[in-house]
Amino acid sequence: MQFSDRYGSAPSAIARPTTDRSSEGTEMTTPSSGRRMDGGRALIKALEMEGVETIFGLPGGAILPVYDPIIDSPIRHILVRHEQGAGHMAEGFAHATGRPGVAMVTSGPAATNIVTPLCDAYMDSVPIVVITGQVPYAAIGTDAFQECDTTGITMPVTKHNFLISDAQDIPRIIREAFHIATTGRPGPVLVDVPKDIVDPKNPRSAMDWYWPEEVDLPGYRPVTAGDPEAIRRAAELILAAERPVIYAGGGILKARAAEVLRELAELTGIHVVTTLMARGAFPDDHPLALGMPGMHGNYTAVTSMQRSDLLIALGSRFDDRVTGKVPAFAPEAKIIHVDIDPAELGKVRRPDVGIAGDARLVIEALIEAIGELGGPSRQPDRRAWGEQIREWQQRYPLTYQPSEPGEALKPQFVLETLRDNTPDDCIVASGVGQHQMWTSQYWKFNHPYTWVNSGGLGTMGFAVPAAIGAKVGRPDRMVWAVDGDGCFQMTAQELVTAASERIPVKVAILNNAYLGMVRQWQEMFYEERYSEVYLSPDLPDYKMWAEAMGCIGMRVESPEEVLPAIEKANEIDDRPVVIEFRTDSREKVYPMVPAGLSNDEIIVDPAHGEGGH
Amino acid sequence: MNVAPDRGASAKHHILTVLVENKPGVLTRVAGLFARRGFNIYSLAVAPTEDDRFSRITIVVDVESAPLEQIIKQLDKLINVVKIDELAPGEAVERELLLATVAAPPEVRGQVIELVGVFEGRILSVGWRELTVSLEGSPSKLDDFEELIGNYGIVALQRTGRVALPKLERRTPDIEDPPA
């Protein structure tokens, strides 16, 4: 496939609406300045001005005045069954499209239900804007019905939040919320809206419509261009390194930098690891791709970082799941660290060259600086390093023992079959646990924005709603969720949303009857004392449950049924499909670096010999 | 008067002056950031500045420089934080206000009044057996006063937390410089 084809289809960068919706001719969307309006209509209109096409949400008392004008708005509203679903759908939408996802819910319990997605988006730098209802301004602090200090609760898990106190501020605050969510290091922004300032029956909701063209945030100045002197020093380190590795993180995707990352890797011939958040940022079928590093990374990705003399960290944050024990992480490596967030530089490991800036702009400047310093021909001979990497790859591939006839399915086999029988640009969302790690390991991500997952917070139940959000954002793509049985039970009800809204996502449940990753830890580190970890393969009956929710349900128990079930699911595009795969509960995720240990103590599949070490 | 070395001063003692937008909730965001990282705020003072769009928060913290650097960077990420300066104790002018109600029965009243005078404090309120006094100065001067007056008995004490600004740079005027 041509390079340009592969990336040409990627969603465009976070964009402001370029078309004036007034051409649609509806009175609602005419941006005539100075027109009297109530706050609820102003809020919806402000969302329209921001180019919002879809809101995921669930109404309730305090937010009702904002729901009323949705009837007259071109914005599509998707009615969820639980507010957590709305938040994860907004995240899935943002992961897959790069555009901010929007969720709207009411006050009190609705607001607390969406705290998990807010925290999830905060940890993974996902741009979402969440609107919450609030009791009338005068009732705040009186313990009114469904009151909750939403801004107080969400302060530590949002990039920023607002409590609107005046209807006149609504357009400005919505504009600022989207600006903050989508620029710099992206993240979740919450806007809490007291009922009286959006309720047309209340005089406090009256406002004169306007649309601010500029934002005035004196304390908010995201860096973009990197310091040229630091970039030159980084280029010199790259040209001098004998065992360099590019450590690419989720920031590559946020910065739309996949294409320039590939340019840099090919120019210098340096291998690339892609973290859990960066899967797809560099094509897995590329000869320089090393795959995922970290606790469940492959041997070569982990060990090449450990033995490197230069780590080029691009949009990655030295997460503990990547570094293992920090003092023992990549001990001989000099560090170049590029991050849009200056607070990440030196937070975990002090860089030799730290560059605060947008990953795409900095990589472009790095490529230029390498050229000015004499180009890649100035680099030392790295053939021995390349040879070493190839040797590791051959010696320690990802492996599993195929099941004997009559035995339970191997989850890895299910994933390989799914991977090989879905389009190359299929979007795959996952929950959290063993199935997440296997999917990241065994899938071949050859396109950016095809992997939707919860990395930082590790939110069980993420997959189903996130897949729905991704499918809404990219209806042209096939979207599969890979879920565990434990995860599925947390948010499965959102399949009712998908069925009723005709959002044809596909779900593969790897049902091993256990909280699998917990079981793995109990087996390896708690002397096989399996405390409170068994879920049962039959309770619930996943096939019947799927059908009760308006989906097609299937159950697969033997290897020969795997492919036909997947093929059947691929053909269904008018409703969601759920396939329950009965998998082997004894299967563990290898390799593994136990928590708190050095990456040198990686345990590979026992099939490699030496008891796995 | 002589400014004694601050007894609270140590390698771990840092003063942050943080210019923030004058909006509700900003102090919570700033204070919460310290709490989440387990750092104790030793002293904190906040009030509007010459520009009413902004407030200045003076925070004294006792932490090593390395975690402080991370705190400053995280503070800088807060949308409402406009500017942060870190002042080393030697590079700052620091002031604090103390209000104290002290026991001053007639037999020692003269001694108490004399002590307040030595420290250039003021008597704000006079009762039958007590005096309320105010004292402004460097934190160490206030510490000294607190210790000495404590011998007579402190009924109530309130300190403001310190405020600080950078010391001005001194420069010998060049010959060419016209007089200001």
Task: Tell me whether residue A521 is exposed, middle or buried, using C-beta atoms within 10 angstroms of its C-beta: 0 to 12, 13 to 18, 19 or more.
Answer: middle
Distance of alpha carbon A423 from the chain centroid: 20
Lowest mean pLDDT among A18-22, A105-109, A236-240, A357-361: A18-22
Residue listed under structure tokens 């094509």:
A283
Catalytic residue from among A48, A83, A494, A580: A83
Residue recorded with tokens 């947008």: A358
pLDDT of residue B118: 96
Summarize the confidence of residues A585-601 as an average pLDDT.
Answer: 95
With a cut of 50, say whether residue A4 has pLDDT above it: no
Tell me if A471 sits within 8 A of A445, measured CB to CB.
Answer: no
Catalytic, A581? Answer: no
Considering CB atoms only, which of A163, A220, A346 is closest to B69?
A346
Nearest CA in chain B to A189: B79
Which of B28, B52, B77 should be substituted to probe chain A, the one whose Cβ sees the most A Cβ atoms within 10 Å? B77
Which residues of chain A neighbour B28 with C-beta distances below 8 Å?
A: 152, 155
Given the residues A104, A123, A147, A195, the one annotated as active site = A195
> β-pairing, A76-79 with A128-134?
unpaired
Residues A24-48 pLDDT 10s = 434 444 456 779 999 999 999 999 9
Across the interface, do B70 and A346 touch by the CB < 8 Å criterion? yes
User: What's at A367, amino acid-wise?
Assistant: I
Task: Centre a 10 Å sphere on the Cβ of residue B168 and count the other Cβ atoms it contains.
Answer: 7
Question: Which residue of chain A comes nearest to B68, CA vs CA?
Answer: A347
> Cβ distance A51 to A101 under 8 Å?
no
Which of A479 and A404 is assigned the larger pLDDT? Answer: A479
Residue B80: what residue type?
A: N
Distance CA A137, CA B61 (A): 36
Angstroms from A482 CA to nearest CA on chain B: 34
Q: Kindly list the residues from chain B whose CB atom is less than 8 angstroms away from the CB atom of residue A180.
A: 79
Which residue among A151, A219, A343 sits closest to B73, beta carbon to beta carbon?
A343
Q: Give pLDDT < 70 ranges for chain B.
A: 1-12, 171-180
B81 has which bridge partners? B20
Task: Name the residue type at position A393.
Answer: Q
The answer to whether A182 and A127 have CB atoms below 8 angstroms apart is yes
Tell me which of B20, B73, B78 to substitute to probe the interface with A (most A C-beta atoms closer than 10 Å). Answer: B73
Tens-digit pLDDT profile for residues B156-175: 999 999 899 888 887 666 66
All residues of chain A having their beta carbon less than 8 Å from the beta carbon of residue B29 are: 155
User: Would you call A149 an interface residue with chain B, using a CB distance cutoff of 8 Å?
Assistant: no
ipTM reported for the complex, 2 dp: 0.85
Which residues, 6+ apart, have CB-to-CB distance to A27 below 8 Å? none
Any CB–CB contact under 8 A between B79 and chain A? yes
Q: Which residue in the list A292, A517, A554, A592 is annotated as catalytic?
A: A517
- Residues A553 and A580 sit within 8 Å (Cβ to Cβ): yes
Active site residue A83: yes
Per-residue confidence band for A607, with pLDDT thresholds at 50, 70 and 90? confident
- Amino acid, single-letter form, for residue A132: T
Q: Is A217 on the interface with B (CB under 8 A)?
A: yes
- Those residues with Cβ within 8 angstroms of residue A154's Cβ, 6 or more apart along the chain or in another chain: A111, A115, A118, A161, A190
What average pLDDT does the segment A362-384 reach?
96
Nearest to A343 among B28, B77, B83 (CB): B77
- The first and second tokens of residue B21, run together, are 């937008």
Is the Cβ of B77 closer than 8 Å to some Cβ of chain A? yes
pLDDT at res. A511? 98
Q: Do B20 and A219 touch (CB under 8 A)?
A: yes
| Cβ within 8 Å, pair B79-A155 | no
- Give the distance, in angstroms, between the CA of residue B111 and the centroid of all CA atoms in the same chain: 28
Interface test with B, best of A185, A189, A215, A220 (most B CBs within 10 A): A220
Please tell me which residue of chain B has the smallest CA distance to A350. B66
Q: Which of A218, A343, A346 sits opposite B74 (nearest CB)?
A: A343
A451-452, strands of its sheet edge to edge: A451-452, A427-430, A479-484, A506-511, A577-582, A552-556
A322-361 pLDDT, tens digit each: 999 999 999 999 999 999 999 999 999 999 999 999 999 9
Average pLDDT over residues A377-383: 95
Cα distance between residue B26 and residue A477, in whole Å: 43
State yes or no: is A145 an active-site residue.
yes
Substitution target in A155, A175, A179, A217 with the highest count of B β-carbons within 10 Å is A155
- pLDDT value of position B176: 61
Taking residue A12's Cβ as centre, other Cβ atoms within 10 Å add up to 9
Q: Give the pLDDT of residue A314.
A: 98
Rounded to whole angstroms, the Cα distance separating A7 from A285 reads 14
Which of A159, A180, A219 lies closest to B21 in CB terms?
Answer: A219
Which chain A residue's Cα is nearest to B37?
Answer: A156
Identity at B135, one-letter amino acid code: L
- Higher-pLDDT residue of A98 and A609 is A98
Query: Which residue of B79, B83, B84 to mutate against A (max A Cβ within 10 Å)?
Result: B79
Tokens of A84: 């957590």
Task: Give the SS3 label for residue A36.
Answer: strand
Q: Which residue of the set A146, A168, A388, A493 is catalytic?
A: A146
The tens digit of pLDDT for each residue in A213-247 reads: 899 999 999 989 999 999 999 999 999 999 999 99
In 3D, which of A239, A165, A178 has the Cα closest to residue A207? A165
Q: Which of B29, B74, B82 sits opposite A218 (nearest CB)?
A: B82
Half-sphere exposure of A258 (CA within 13 A, CB side): 32
Question: CB–CB of A155 and B32 under 8 A?
Answer: yes
Contact A219 B80 (CB under 8 A): yes
Query: B82 CA to chain A: closest CA distance, Å?
Result: 4
Tell me the residue length of chain B.
180
Cβ-based contacts of A153 with chain B (< 8 Å): none
Question: Distance from B165 to chain A by nearest Cα, in Å?
Answer: 20
Pairing of strands B130-137, B92-103: antiparallel
Count the neighbouring beta carbons within 10 Å of the beta carbon of residue A404.
7
Note whether A159 contacts B: Cβ–Cβ < 8 A: yes
| Active-site option among A145, A387, A407, A568 | A145
The DSSP letter of residue A72 is G
Are B78 and A219 within 8 A, CB to CB?
yes
Report, as an integer, the average pLDDT of A463-471: 98
- Confidence (pTM): 0.91
Asked whether the predicted pLDDT for residue A381 surpasses 90, the reply is: yes
The DSSP code sequence of A408-427 is: PBPHHHHHHHHHHTS-TT-E
Q: Do B28 and A155 touch (CB under 8 A)?
A: yes
> B65 in contact with A at a CB cutoff of 8 Å?
no
Is B38 an interface residue toward A (CB < 8 Å)?
no
A195 included as an active-site residue: yes
For residue A222, give how far its alpha carbon lies from the nearest alpha carbon of chain B (Å).
9
Q: For chain A, what percent of residues have pLDDT higher than 90?
A: 91
Residue A208 vs residues A31, A46, A217, A565: alpha-carbon distances, Å: 11, 13, 22, 57
pLDDT value of residue B172: 67
Instruction: Give the residue on A whose Cα is nearest the Cα of B21.
Output: A219
Tens of pLDDT along A517-536? 999 999 999 999 999 999 99
Model confidence at A5, pLDDT cuts 50, 70, 90, reads very low
Burial class (CB in 10 A: 0-12, 13-18, 19+), B67: middle
User: Has residue A500 got a pLDDT over 90?
Assistant: yes
